[in-house]
Chains A and B, each alone.
Chain A
């Protein structure tokens, strides 16, 4: 039982990381119908920015955090202008390739600028965690789970209770109609990329104290997050969260009870099963195709 609880906690923790990155996927997909294969690199870049500001320059943690996220916002703008916007009228394939190119570019540019050494980034808390009976709760995982909850709540509030959120939704559902209502569609898409970059950045900064800051940290998480997105159903925020958590838990338990070396296989096996038998994900499409 102790074992199960401990595995469950870790599973939820790692699942929350997938969920955070998956949120970014879903947002961009909903706004543009494009899968951003460079989403993981957003996390990596943010973590390196954090290292630069908090470790190398020795700024206070919160200041470094805010400046890093501001940096991510700028990256989101550049990404939109350089990688997505010029291709917005083309089919999905060139956009996929273009985001893959962007991911190679970001990873290796970071390597060129910062060098290959993995870096240490301290967590928010001094203490490592809490011993709760037989279960050790890592403080950073607790923070990640809490942040995921807060961000989901924020996202819910933002999309359901603000005009801006409604405008973003309208843009993702029918761009032409949105522009007829005076909604600045180009700006909305820009905003989506900025927000996704920030979300990816938060995920990266939160996970850095656990996984350390390395060039390839983004791509490993992103593939899993991608799987989580499909399991949850593309285009559904709640689905991304559930999918991420489910994946984290299944992976952890699968590793404990089935096989550690094939751990990564569970994610993809689940993904294939979902695509074969329930391609619409756990929740299905929220919006019917034929109105």
Chain B
């Protein structure tokens, strides 16, 4: 399975998401949320609902909590989970069996169910190490099917298909309305957490993984662990919803937690818009209500489920970001841009452990089957220098960069960064060790703002210049953006920036991490001449701060003027190495580029 950057869901998502989800700068909306929650809970507790409406609302509230879980794993982290009904069932069965058979406290059962689901979810998440896409989908389906089989057949424990009846709930919540109010309160609480999650370190990591796994790894995020967390949280919320559901309906049976239900959860998440908890609530509400509204079509059996299937197709075709994505994009047009924030100066103080040589590459080789893309290359990059790596197309430059940053494993050779051997270290560990890089085809987190992208860079573990507080991270990110010349545009989404500016943001992201060594992979590719001049000036400013740079580029003007030292590759081998001017006049280099005379 490909583990490329576009693995997972659509890279483009609701344009409004990042803006609407930005909480820290809008304290008012916190209060607004609180007020709305209180009103909702109050209404749930006091409105004279009849039994039908109560049941519908109870179902919607508990399902929505489970759908929040999907919005985390699918919306935030971009991983598919077709077993949410199984996790929902874990919670429901824990509460059901626990209260009905063993008369254990409701709360204890709920907690137990959530813990079990958390474990199972993490286990399912572990399979993402090897699998993605359809395979992951299939693993989750299998898990779902096995759970259903156990629920049906382990009769002595689960009561089998009879289901569990006489499920108890806490005595203070014994009335339907009180219980509904409690569910709504839980929904609001979980909704708040899910709403805030994207702004947390973990949430940002998930979004980064969703938007671009490669870049996330390079930015110091442990991609694999992030996915496991996402699955675990998803399962946890599924179990919470299920536990509350069991308490609300007092009876559960295996068919309520089948694969078909998982599909319904997924559709709920997609319909509303996977990237936002508001979308989850909308989607859940719709999918619970629509079949109810369409009951009038019942004279012809199957007709309304057929329409439901049709609706699913139409939503996917015409509303890829779901209902909320559609609405928020409209709201977004009328939203005032937030005021630019004050930015300080960017300080680059790379720590120093090793000696004069920051990067020492010895005998590095990378073979793809019989193809020797890189074949025994030595590179030594001196501290505080600008070092260029050049060579014609297909000479192995980008392969070296990918081996250096851990995207490919080396076939042979060693890599030492600032004195430490990083030859076998995973991508994010290299980043923690101080390696920053940019990509030839820009790899930004496309659903986030410029600021958020750079904050992820600043968050790098091992960055001693920030203490990890939100203010410090933001301050450093603002400084980095100002440093590359994008002051005042921090809150704009990546998609609203020109290609050249996106490159600058990528560099800012790397700089904010305060790296020991900055790898630039063809930073000038696709830039027009004025942008190239800007880039050149930026490189000078970076070098002036003493940061070591290793640059790959085809623009020889840029390379010859910026770099003090050049290594030239051809056919995966080093053909020249030395001071810039001398190297560029080397006959082998000229013939490699222009063709040999013979």
Contact = CB atoms under 8 A, between A and B. Distances in A.
Asked if A and B form a direct contact in the complex, defined as CB atoms under 8 angstroms apart, the reply is yes
Contacts of A98: 312-313, 316-317
Contacts of A271: 138-139, 142
A35 B137 CA distance: 10
B134 A108 contact: no
A215 B309 CA distance: 15
Interface string A76-98: 00000011001100111110111
B368 interface: yes
Contact of A230 (B9, B135, B312, B371): B135
Nearest to A38: B309
B300 interface: yes
Contact of B146 (A83, A103, A110, A268): A268
Interface residues of A, number: 47
Given A100-B263, A101-B310, A272-B142, A234 B134 contact: yes
B561 interface: no
Interface in B115-160: 127, 130-131, 133-135, 137-139, 141-143, 145-146, 149, 152-153
B146 A109 contact: no
B267 interface: yes
B133 A92 contact: yes
B492 to A, nearest CB: 25
Interface in B284-305: 300-305
A186 B300 CA distance: 37
B317 A87 contact: yes
A275 B146 contact: no
Contact of B153 (A86, A261, A290): A261
B145 A268 contact: yes
Contacts of A91: 6, 8-10
A242 interface: no
Contacts of A5: none
Contacts of B302: 107-112, 116, 215
A264 interface: yes
B138 A230 contact: yes
A215 B306 CA distance: 12
A103 B308 CA distance: 11
B369 interface: yes
A57 interface: no
B316 A94 contact: yes
A261 B254 CA distance: 14
B80 interface: yes
A215 B302 CA distance: 10
A231 to B, nearest CB: 11
B270 interface: yes
B316 A101 contact: yes
Contact of B316 (A35, A87, A227, A290): A87
Nearest to A268: B142
Nearest to A271: B142
Contacts of B312: 97-98, 100-101, 104-105
B320 interface: yes
A112 B301 contact: yes
Contacts of B143: 272
Interface string B300-332: 111111101111110011001000000000000
B512 interface: no
Contacts of A288: 369
B137 A108 contact: no
Nearest to A29: B134
A26 B312 CA distance: 24
Contacts of A276: 127, 130
A97 B309 contact: no
Interface of A: 35, 82-83, 86-87, 90-94, 96-98, 100-112, 115-116, 215, 223, 226-227, 230, 234, 261-262, 264-265, 268-269, 271-272, 275-276, 279, 288, 290
Leading 6 A-B pairs by shortest Cβ distance = A111-B302, A101-B312, A105-B309, A104-B309, A108-B306, A108-B305
